[in-house]
Chains A and B, each alone.
Chain A
Amino acid sequence: MSKTFHLEIIASDRVFFEGETEHLVITAIDGLIGIMAGHEPLVTALPTGELKYMVNGKWQYAAISEGFIEVMPDHAIILADTCELPEEIDVKRAEEARARAEERLRQKQSIKEYYQTQAALNRAMNRLKLSQKHFK
């Protein structure tokens, strides 16, 4: 087994994951970043996206919405608004949210509202994508 580091994924409504991890892949603002034990100190923001981490040689996937990560050589902390396993995602709710956001995008909105709707749409699409990809 390869060297591990301590990973904490904390969502605003629960502690999502805490334990030893061999490998972590995150979607940062400008692309995917892979993190293994002994990584240099790094701080970056995480937009809505996908996340995977390896525990005992098995990849775990999760849908994450807006947060940030702090990486130190021996540990990493992810703080996010929400974080869900593919099987936890409420597909129906996400679909409704997508429909709602798409509907709103068709209306005339202020720039601020437009960004908010787009962010909502992003979250819904991300959930749907992950649930389709990893959980059927």
Chain B
Amino acid sequence: MANIREIRERVASIQQILKITNAMYLMSSSKLKKARKSLEATEPYFYKLQSTIESVLEHTPHTRQLYFDRRDNIPEDKRKRGYIVITADKGLCGSYNHNILKYTEQELKKAPDIDNCYLFIMGQVGRMHFQNRKREAKKAYVDSEFLYTTQNPTLYRAREIAELVLEKFENHELDEVHLIYTDMVNSSQSEPRTVRLLPFERKHFGKAVDGTMKKLPKASFEPNPEEVMSYLIPNYAKGIIYGAMVEAFCSEQHARMTAMDAATTSAKDMIRELSLLYNRARQAAITQEITEVCSGASSVEK
């Protein structure tokens, strides 16, 4: 039987942790409420942006615009791939960070040469994870000046990030840009996702079922397609980054809330079990004392 004092100390320490997890649960649930509100407000924009761009591209004549340049002349293993990864600033949010980091590692493995991968990581946890791998011979380059928080996403921050990657793409410092974030699939489920930002993808649409080219009406562009695209694509990139930031923030809060809720319940369970043990130990001690007193008294009587 465990020592009474030991059990008492354990219960006290669990109670301390319970207080912390409970407070974190309350905080993250109120933050989640806020994040969900902004997610709901942004979602129509996010989805509409993607569908509209798709339909705009269907009506776009072929352009030699910079952002469409696939740079096919660069061989696969020489291509510089940039990844914007959105992680959390703090831990204690269940498997949220773990999932996104594992997913990113998998994505990096797909690249032919990991030395040509550039990581732009938002959030402290992800940055620490990828920076602390000095031992490995081949590793992706982490931009250490890319310091953005994932708390409370703003359009301003999204704009700065979009400008940064677009500039790098224009200067041929990057040949591809991908965005990795956690998507809220529905209100209780989220999973990591990748979106390719650049070069801009023109899907092979326009082919009808019988294989003939569908004739899509070409829209007119004011003043001309190149000009419009050079406005539209930075705008699109910014919108997508902002949307992803909002989605990721919401998933993070959700993950933290669930994790903290689970921690609080299991702490409560542990306290219940331990107090049972404690009571038993105490009872045993009392019984033993009584037996001792009785046997002592009876030996005196003799």
> Chain A contacts of B163 at CB under 8 A?
112, 116
A8 proximity list for chain B (CB < 8 A): 48
**Does A55 interact with chain B (Cβ within 8 Å)?**
no
B124 within 8 A of A: no
- A28–B239 Cα distance when bound, in Å, is 19
Contact B235 A41 (CB under 8 A): no
Q: Are A13 and B222 in contact (CB under 8 A)?
A: no
Of A11, A33, A40, A81, the most chain B CB neighbours within 10 A belong to A81
Contact between chains at A41 and B219 (CB < 8 Å) = yes
Contact B59 A43 (CB under 8 A): yes
Decide if A70 is an interface residue (CB 8 Å cutoff): yes
Q: A12-B155, A45-B232, A79-B45 are in contact. Are A33 and B55 (CB under 8 A)?
A: no
CB–CB A41/B59 < 8 A: yes
Whether A44 sits at the interface, judged by CB under 8 Å, is yes
Using C-beta atoms within 8 Å of the partner chain, give the interface range for chain A: 20 to 34
User: Which residue of chain B is the closest to A44 with respect to CB atoms?
Assistant: B222
Interface 1/0 per residue, A62-75 and B, CB below 8 Å: 00001110110000
Given contacts A12-B242, A79-B48, contact A41 B231 (CB under 8 A): no
A contact set with B: CB distance below 8 Å? 8, 10-15, 28-30, 33, 40-45, 47, 66-68, 70-71, 77, 79, 81-82, 112, 116
- B residues neighboring A (CB under 8 Å): 38, 41-42, 44-45, 48-49, 52, 55-56, 59-60, 155, 163, 167, 217-223, 227-228, 231-232, 235, 238-239, 242
Q: Can you report 9 residue pairs joining A to B where beta carbons are below 8 Å apart?
A: A11-B45, A14-B44, A15-B45, A29-B228, A41-B59, A70-B55, A77-B48, A79-B52, A112-B163
